[in-house]
């Protein structure tokens, strides 16, 4: 008989367990990590427990679960002819620490002991080498009790022996110092592992009952919060040779970071777009009311402050009323294999091929999810009022069902990294525009033609300022190119200040671009080698007895 059961720890803990003829026995078991699904704000982990049980009731006791799991999220399902009666998780006592931490401590002690021995070896070799060097400097010239000097004929033999001794000691020193360096690195790594892997674990107890001897596997699922994934993108624009067709490859990646206290070693890994830590319903808006401000109440006379005791300071008097300070709040090689996407109505899940390892507290692991290639529309953008540098842009329509989530994007043009940017949320059917750096095949200049100020009026005098601009644009590409030039005219925030666009200039193709007041755009398709001249200007009029300034928008 095979049973599939899904059990909630919170519900089953309250269920009465039927009494049998014999009390349930404990059976120590070990679990192993099998698969992990990472969300933008947490992760779901599945551990497998195999069992081989006699008839009757048994409590499976696993002491290798992470301390950071949410006990309310525990779920058990499996196969093997047993009924799950209940599941509960509780922290291990200090004396019940798992063997992994003890083994790591023992390894660290052994490394430190060997390092002490190596240090003694280094000191002995240094003394040996130093003795030979001192003998070479002093003894040959004053040897023996009567300081009989070594004859010249014996110098060669003496110095040859000393040279061999110094060389041998030096080689041995190099070897033991290299071993000392290796040991120092191993000790530092072991100390880091001991800090990164807290010894506190969680004990999970699963009550099961079997009508007959049973073998099978249980899958225990739980949630952890100290894990997340964030989207990353590579946008690779290939312009190619003159006259070629441009292409844009957009590579999706996932940066996975986890500090759950357990290493995800050799697991089936998936990432999901579903958010699990936020609220499940929209907040409820409460009404607000407008009332008259009540008249101020008379202030009571200030009370006389009590006298301080001689041994009492003002700080001591105020200390009980002071609020305590808030407590302080308690990222591997990249695989280029692509993940398999499973798109649902409300989420997209990418499953990485094969098995993956992500260590706890080891920084971000970046994995490739998927890639798509599109034929982009190239254009040039110039913000002439700020900078006349033309910038190349590539635009395309997002046709995939999986949305492009907000994340950093690395921008490549013909294989060269030109910069980084940020991609906002883009859903299916929306347009995406990415910038790929300065375009050397377009030229734009901006020239001030006129700027003057005059006074008009007899009774009510006014001051008038006029400006006129000329913008020259040339397309040096050997293909047609849409070039958009943006500029601006001042905007008035007072009815006594009048601003109007001068007549006779080049009419803009768009005004208030992107809901930015006063921003004008001239967007045209330029043939190869074509040039255009754009002229525009404005007039500002205000009372002569007032002064005006030009500044950015108020914040």
The greatest distance separating any two alpha carbons of the chain, rounded to the nearest whole angstrom, comes to 125
Shared domain for 455 and 494, answered yes or no, is yes
**Last residue of a domain, which of 438, 462, 480?**
438
Shared domain for 539 and 446, answered yes or no, is yes
- 21 part of a folded domain: yes
How many domains in the chain?
Answer: 4
Q: How many CB atoms lie within 10 A of CB 483?
A: 23
For residues 3 and 88, give the distance between their C-alpha atoms in angstroms, rounded to a whole number: 20
For residues 526 and 529, give the distance between their C-alpha atoms in angstroms, rounded to a whole number: 8
**Last residue of a domain, which of 193, 216, 250?**
193
How many helices (H) and strands (E) are present in the chain, helices listed first?
4, 28
Rounded mean pLDDT of the chain? 81
According to DSSP, the β-strands at 227-238 and 462-475 are unpaired
Helix (H/G/I), strand (E/B), else coil: 220: strand
- 357 part of a folded domain: no
Residues 100/209, Cβ–Cβ less than 8 Å? no
- 239 part of a folded domain: no
**Residue 519 scores a pLDDT above 70:** yes
pLDDT band at residue 38 under the 50/70/90 scheme: very high
- 245 part of a folded domain: no
Which of the residue ranges 5-14, 74-83, 205-214 has the most confident prediction, judged by mean pLDDT?
205-214
Shared domain for 79 and 105, answered yes or no, is no
Residues 235/250, Cβ–Cβ less than 8 Å? yes
For residues 468 and 450, give the distance between their C-alpha atoms in angstroms, rounded to a whole number: 5
Per residue in 462-511, pLDDT tens?
Answer: 888 899 999 999 999 988 999 999 999 998 888 888 889 999 999 999 99
Per residue in 395-405, pLDDT tens?
Answer: 999 998 888 99
Shared domain for 501 and 384, answered yes or no, is no
Domain of residue 43, residue span: 7-98+199-224
pLDDT at res. 416: 92
Shared domain for 511 and 451, answered yes or no, is yes
Shared domain for 48 and 165, answered yes or no, is no
**Last residue of a domain, which of 384, 418, 438?**
438
pLDDT at res. 236: 96
- 284 part of a folded domain: no
**Residue 159 scores a pLDDT above 80:** no
- 474 part of a folded domain: yes
Question: Domain containing 473 — which CATH number?
Answer: 2.60.40
Shared domain for 35 and 66, answered yes or no, is yes
pLDDT band at residue 317 under the 50/70/90 scheme: very low
For residues 16 and 9, give the distance between their C-alpha atoms in angstroms, rounded to a whole number: 13
- 65 part of a folded domain: yes
Nearest to 218 by CA among 412, 25, 6: 6
Q: Which helix (H) or strand (E) holds 116?
A: helix 99-138
Residues 177/24, Cβ–Cβ less than 8 Å? no
**Residue 1 scores a pLDDT above 60:** no
Shared domain for 105 and 91, answered yes or no, is no
Three-state secondary structure of 320-351 = HHCCCCCCCCCCCCCECCCCEEEECCCCEEEE
Shared domain for 115 and 86, answered yes or no, is no
Residues 384/535, Cβ–Cβ less than 8 Å? no
- How much is the average pLDDT of 216-241? 91
Shared domain for 45 and 169, answered yes or no, is no
- 250 part of a folded domain: no
**Residue 305 scores a pLDDT above 60:** no
Shared domain for 24 and 140, answered yes or no, is no
CA end-to-end distance (rounded Å), the chain: 70
Shared domain for 20 and 76, answered yes or no, is yes
pLDDT at res. 244: 72
Show the tokens assigned to 505: 């200039």
Per residue in 115-138, pLDDT tens?
Answer: 999 999 998 888 888 888 887 777
């Amino acid at each position: 008989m095979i049973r599939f059961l899904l059990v909630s720890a919170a519900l089953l803990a309250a269920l009465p367990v039927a009494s049998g003829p014999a009390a349930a026995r404990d059976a120590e078991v070990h679990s192993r990590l099998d698969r992990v699904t990472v969300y933008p704000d947490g992760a779901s982990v599945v551990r497998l427990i195999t069992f081989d049980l006699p008839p009757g009731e048994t409590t499976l006791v696993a002491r290798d679960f992470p301390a950071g799991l949410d006990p309310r999220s525990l779920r058990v399902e499996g196969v093997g002819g047993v009924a799950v009666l209940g599941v509960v998780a509780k922290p291990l006592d200090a004396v019940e620490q798992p063997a992994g931490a003890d083994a790591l401590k023992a390894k660290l002690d052994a490394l430190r002991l060997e390092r002490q021995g190596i240090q003694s070896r280094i000191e002995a070799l240094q003394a040996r080498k130093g003795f030979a060097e001192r003998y070479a400097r002093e003894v040959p010239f004053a040897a023996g009790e009567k300081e009989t000097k070594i004859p010249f004929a014996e110098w060669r033999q003496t110095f040859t022996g000393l040279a061999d001794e110094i060389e041998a000691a030096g080689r041995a020193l190099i070897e033991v110092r290299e071993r000392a360096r290796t040991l120092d690195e191993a000790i530092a790594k072991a100390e880091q592992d001991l800090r990164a892997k807290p010894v506190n674990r969680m004990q999970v107890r699963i009550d099961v009952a079997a009508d007959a001897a049973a073998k099978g596997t249980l899958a225990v699922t739980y949630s952890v919060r100290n894990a997340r994934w964030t989207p990353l993108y590579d946008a690779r624009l290939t312009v190619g040779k003159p006259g070629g067709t441009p292409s844009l490859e957009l590579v999706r990646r996932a940066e996975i970071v986890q500090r759950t206290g357990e290493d995800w070693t050799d697991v089936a890994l998936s990432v999901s777009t579903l958010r699990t830590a936020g609220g499940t319903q929209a907040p409820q808006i409460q009404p607000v009311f407008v009332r008259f401000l009540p008249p101020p109440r008379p202030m009571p006379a200030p009370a006389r402050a009590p006298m301080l005791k001689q041994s009492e300071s003002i700080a001591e008097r105020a200390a009980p009323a002071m609020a305590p300070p808030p407590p302080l709040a308690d990222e591997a090689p990249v695989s280029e294999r692509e993940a398999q996407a499973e798109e649902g109505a409300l989420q997209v899940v990418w499953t990485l091929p094969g098995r993956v390892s992500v260590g706890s507290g080891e920084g971000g692991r970046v994995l490739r999810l998927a890639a798509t290639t599109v034929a982009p529309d190239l254009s040039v953008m110039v913000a002439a009022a700020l900078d006349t540098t033309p910038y190349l842009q590539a635009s395309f329509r997002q046709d995939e069902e999986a949305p492009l989530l907000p994340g950093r994007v690395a921008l490549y043009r013909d294989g060269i990294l030109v910069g980084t940017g940020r991609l906002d949320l883009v859903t299916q059917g929306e347009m995406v525009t990415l910038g790929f750096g300065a375009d050397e095949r377009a030229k734009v200049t901006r020239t001030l033609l006129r700027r003057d100020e005059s006074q008009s009026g007899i009774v009510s005098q006014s001051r008038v300022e006029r400006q006129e601009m000329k913008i020259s644009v040339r397309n040096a590409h050997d293909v047609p190119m849409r070039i958009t030039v943006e500029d601006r005219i001042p905007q008035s925030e007072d009815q006594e200040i009048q601003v109007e666009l001068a007549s006779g200039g080049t009419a803009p193709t768009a005004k208030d671009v992107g809901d930015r007041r006063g921003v004008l755009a001239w967007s045209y398709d330029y043939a190869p080698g074509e040039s255009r001249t754009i002229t525009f200007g404005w007039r500002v009029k205000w009372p002569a007895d007032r002064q005006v300034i030009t500044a950015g928008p108020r914040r």
